Chain A
Amino acid sequence: MMRLPPVAVAVVAAALAWPTAALAHGLAGRQDLPIPRWLFVWGATVVLIISFVGLAALWRSPRLEDQGLRRVTPIPRGLEAMCGAVGVAVFCLLIYAGLAGSQRPTENVVPTFVYVLLWVGVPVLSVLLGDVFRPFNPWRAIGRGAGWLGGRLTGGAAPAPLSYPERLGRWPAVIGLVAFGWLELVAANGDDPGTMAVLALVYAAVQLVGMTLFGVERWLERGDAFAVYFGLFARMAPVTVDDGHLALRRPLSGLSQERWLPGTVALLCAAIGITAFDGVAEGPVWLGAVEPLQTIFESLGFAVDTALTLTFTIGLIVSVLLVGVVYWIGVLGMRTAAGAASARRLGRSFVVSLVPIAFAYVLAHYFSLLVFQGQATAYLASDPLGTGANLFGTASATIDYTVLSANAVWYFQVGALVIGHAAGLAVAHDRALVLFGDGRQATRSQTWMLAVMIAFTCLGLFLLSAGNA
């Protein structure tokens, strides 16, 4: 029999000072139950076995280098401009809703749109359908439109963009990504619609300045956190655009086409670290660390709220840095095993194997949020400002919490991490074959990268497990 009393009386008087509930979870009224310990153990076993069987039995010559592109159909001209217009319109509506609408996160469309549909929904769509964000990206549309108009007005005499400082690479996007993670997970008013609208305007302004200075595509590939982040996930998709045509390719093969730019490693480490911190922040390890840290900040003269925010900021940064350290340990180890290649080159070559794992983290942590809170789209679309409107007659819709059972969520979470791990393994294996040519040396070098991936996947499982809750 379960060690639970028959009635609802298992009241745990939490000995820990709970951080304000407003942090991070103001939006969703439901959280996932921790996965049971047995499932954690089993999931970790699956990961280990897949890893070693994979090393022994995977292919002997690179298979993901060649995308096997097949063009399917030409994309109608003008479609991109139309998507861009939709993107700009939606952006403007959201800004209006954020500024003019209800300031309660659950009543206003903005927090659900940004933190659920955009932040979780778009990665899922990107992995399935390719870079869906690109045509709708509002700043890209504005930038291209302005460029086109400028060209017309000046008769092609518009000044050429400045040359982008290549050493800067993707670091602007890294900063953008961490800032977004901070807003979502740390900032006390991060789901306040008005604040979000203002910050979205600031973000858009930065993008427009960047595109004006350095050119639209150059900036999007390096400076726009969302374009870079979603674009990396889209590299895994079996669908892409090839010279004005919709094309099919082998899943994951797009990752081999990823051109390395400075800051890519940091970007992926930040992506994993941010999601991991969201998991950590719910567990006892972190909750135990909050109070002493907060006390230190308070004794330094900070107000209670500020001290808490500083504490969580440190947690987020440490989480991102730890992910980076683990990755570089793997790369250094690989170098000792493989000899020749420099650590820097290895780090660059293998970083794409983190993309599937980063996506698995997103799925495992946010899938139920997407399924449940995503349903809120129905009533928020009809009443975006929270003013009692009913534009599409769906304002009285509710969230059906029975569509997924807790068991289904658990299996999905473990399945996502395991499959993400297997995909990362396949990508790393292929990279190793390309880099080292010889299968034996590839395997030897890869053992280190595999250890890194096992560490990340098992950490992901641990964050979901009962041991953490």
Chain B
Amino acid sequence: MSTRQRVGLVTLAVTVLAVAFVALRPADDDERPASAATPAPTSPTATPDTDTPTEPPTATEPAQPSAPLLTADGTPRSIEVIQGEDVRFRVRSSEGERLHVHGYDIFRELAPEKTVELSFPAELEGIFEIELERSGTLLAELEVYP
């Protein structure tokens, strides 16, 4: 193979890859990573909700569906949001505990059997643990996508 052929081949390969990159790369609002394609029980009524409505939410708009309730029993969940949206969830613990949202480093003292609602803007991308700090129980993983 001559030098010219080699250069041609490499140029062709680079061109193909550049075109493929542009073609495959989704526009901002195109495709979601496949993880989100998991049919999530997104309707808030599907989430077990034994909470009393008398708990005053810290910061909510009444039109929005109620936030998911995280407790120590049951399997950890994942909460998925797009960066810039608000993360909302409620927590309840049977004992006095300390809630820790890793990365965001949000801490909340939890009184026994009291439901606390949290709401904050999702600014950091990545997967972060939402944990009951004292017992080290993982409640959920917060997934913030760009």
Contacts and interface: CB of A to CB of B under 8 A. Distances in A.
Interface stretch (B10-18, B51-59, B91-99, B108-116): B10-18
A9 B42 contact: yes
Interface string A42-80: 100110011001001100000000000000000000000
Interface in B62-91: 64-65, 67-68, 74-82, 85-89
Contact of A12 (B24, B40, B123): B40
Contacts of A32: 126-127
Given A31-B127, A33-B125, A45-B17, A7 B34 contact: no
Most chain A Cβ neighbours within 10 Å, of B6, B64, B75, B89: B75
Contact of B64 (A1, A7, A37, A53): A7
Given A9-B44, A10-B40, A401 B124 contact: yes
B112 to A, nearest CB: 22
A4 to B, nearest CB: 6
Nearest to B141: A31
Contacts of B85: 6-8
Contacts of B38: 12
Nearest to A467: B34
B35 interface: yes
B5 to A, nearest CB: 8
A18 B68 CA distance: 19
A49 B16 contact: yes
A30 B127 contact: yes
B103 A7 contact: no
B67 A9 contact: yes
Interface residues of A, number: 52
A45 B87 CA distance: 36
Interface string A361-381: 000000010000000000000
A100 to B, nearest CB: 22
Given A14-B78, A53-B9, A407-B146, A9 B88 contact: yes
A7 B88 contact: yes
A21 B103 contact: no
Interface string B105-144: 1000000000000000011111111010000111011011
A402 interface: yes
A13 interface: yes
Contacts of A42: 17, 20-21, 24-25
B104 to A, nearest CB: 8
Interface string B17-32: 1001100111001011
Contacts of B41: 11-13
A17 B75 contact: yes
A21 B87 contact: no
A30 B126 contact: yes
A469 B13 contact: no
Given A13-B47, A33-B127, A406-B126, A8 B13 contact: no
5 contacts: A5-B42, A8-B67, A14-B75, A29-B102, A401-B126
Interface of B: 1, 6, 9-10, 13, 16-17, 20-21, 24-26, 29, 31-38, 40-42, 44, 47, 64-65, 67-68, 74-82, 85-89, 102-103, 105, 122-129, 131, 136-138, 140-141, 143-146
Top 8 closest A-B pairs, CB basis?
A29-B102, A21-B138, A406-B125, A466-B33, A466-B34, A31-B127, A10-B80, A57-B6
Given A17-B75, A18-B75, A466-B33, 13 more contacts: A8-B86, A10-B81, A12-B41, A12-B80, A14-B76, A14-B78, A29-B129, A33-B127, A36-B33, A37-B34, A39-B24, A49-B13, A49-B17
